[in-house]
Amino acid sequence: MKPLRRFTLLLVVLCPLFTGAQPIETILKERVDAGETPGIVVAFHQNGMTTFYHVGYADVASQRLVDSKTLFEIGSITKTFTTIMIAQLAEEGKIKLKDPVQNFLPSGVTMPTRNGRSITFEDLATASSGLPRMPNNMTPADNENPYIDYTEDKLWAFLSGYTLTRDIGSQYEYSNLGMGLLGVLVARIDGKTYRESVTKRILKPLRMNETFMNTPGRKDKNAATGYSDGKPVKAWTWTDASCIQGAGGLLSNAEDMMKYLLANLKPSTNSLGKAMINSHQPRLDIGRNNMKIALGWHTRNKIIWHNGGTGGFRTFAGYEPEKKMAVVVLTNSNLGADDIGFHLMDESIPLKQIKRPIPVAVELLQSYVGSYEITPQFKIEVTLENGQLFAQATNQPKFGIYAESDTRFFLRVVDATVDFVKGADGKIEKLVLYQNGQAMNGMRKP
């Protein structure tokens, strides 16, 4: 098969590469030094050559360094593998993208419809099916490994009982559920497991030998540890019975991911290459930031891309066909670095501002501890543990907050800040949460 020759050229260029006024190594070091992520790996392809950059740790405790072979959970980038396989099934004549998926479900399973319209493969692949982001019958036994026990019987029960709240094809709504279903359909049509299908259809043809499903009990010396807010978290694992695999199940490294992007950047003439070309065509306007969605892939101006996130990883993969550029960004943190990927391909897209926490006396931090009520149903609990201040909103996880000044703190996991405000008596009487353009006052409870 012809494409193999073009994917073996993975050159490491030893001269520094600059973006604007900064070398890439400087940008990556800034992210690690600021505590954004323990480690970060970038693969950048331009002028026919691929360069790898890596800074920081794959595992903090052992001080094991990241490199181009370090394995990261790529999360939702997996969706593009799933949609390419659907396009390949269409190329082979086994389905049509406009076919109702109801025709491919087990007997007794009823796919929701609306106003006489059925959900098609294309609707699922463009996140416009009307299905929600997540099913409401997902109750994981372990919230740190949430998808492993969501099986087909639960999926079929959800679909058979769900009522769509808007017209099919009318609106973009990112849906892990929809992409998971698409992965199940690939496997059913192929008569294989999802893992077997993606291996046969994409991974083996592209010689992506270090890309796979992370199954329970698997040990790999190159696997990075994931971190959330600076603390190590469990890896997300999957069995063949886990039916959301197609939405986020793959583990990969920078070398393999660049092989994947180059295959998309320079598609072959076989059915896989033709499917890739089909998957790149924009089909629906998302309605913000000049973005559209193709089959799984998103487009922003001329950049074709997808990102991914799991419990302890954030990843980015994108390419720019006209410039013949491709970028992979892998971090073992729940803080994203998509801006690096976009900026490398288009310098008019700025890098985000990196905030560095300042030291604050423990006595002052202690004065902020308390319960703050934004509404009777929504409170923020502020706690102090081992010199670190944390904030936990009602029914949400607890996250560290970091000082910009003695009274203003920022969150790393979301773009939000918290101000602590004194009353007339000099004591803290409220906090103000700034997020999504809103300022929300939370009065301190006695």
3 state DSSP class of 215: coil
pLDDT digits (tens, 9 = 90+) for 194-219: 999 999 999 999 999 999 999 998 88
Q: Which residues pair with 393 in a beta bridge?
A: 380
What is the predicted pLDDT for the residue at 375? Answer: 94
pLDDT digits (tens, 9 = 90+) for 228-264: 988 999 999 999 999 999 999 999 999 999 999 999 9
Token pair of 294 as six digits: 């193709």
Q: What is the distance between the alpha carbons of residues 30 and 51, in angstroms, rounded to a whole number? A: 19
What is the predicted pLDDT for the residue at 345? Answer: 97
CB 305 within 8 A of CB 341: yes
pLDDT digits (tens, 9 = 90+) for 297-306: 999 989 999 9
What is the predicted pLDDT for the residue at 1? Answer: 32
Exposure string over 258-291, b if 16+ CB within 10 A, otherwise e:
bbbbbbbbbbbeebbbbbbebbbebbbebeeeeb
What is the predicted pLDDT for the residue at 395? Answer: 86
Q: What is the distance between the alpha carbons of residues 319 and 299, in angstroms, rounded to a whole number? A: 10
What is the predicted pLDDT for the residue at 413? Answer: 82
| Ordered structural domains, the chain, with CATH | 2-345 (3.40.710.10), 362-444 (2.40.128.50)
What is the predicted pLDDT for the residue at 390? Answer: 96
3 state DSSP class of 254: helix
**What does pLDDT average to over the chain?**
93
What is the predicted pLDDT for the residue at 15? Answer: 35
What is the predicted pLDDT for the residue at 22? Answer: 78
What is the predicted pLDDT for the residue at 21? Answer: 52
Which uninterrupted H or E stretch holds 114? Answer: strand 113-114
What is the predicted pLDDT for the residue at 396? Answer: 86
Low-confidence ranges of the chain (pLDDT < 70): 1-21
CB 116 within 8 A of CB 167: no
Closest CA to 267 of 292, 304, 301, 302: 304
What is the predicted pLDDT for the residue at 304? Answer: 98
What is the predicted pLDDT for the residue at 285? Answer: 92
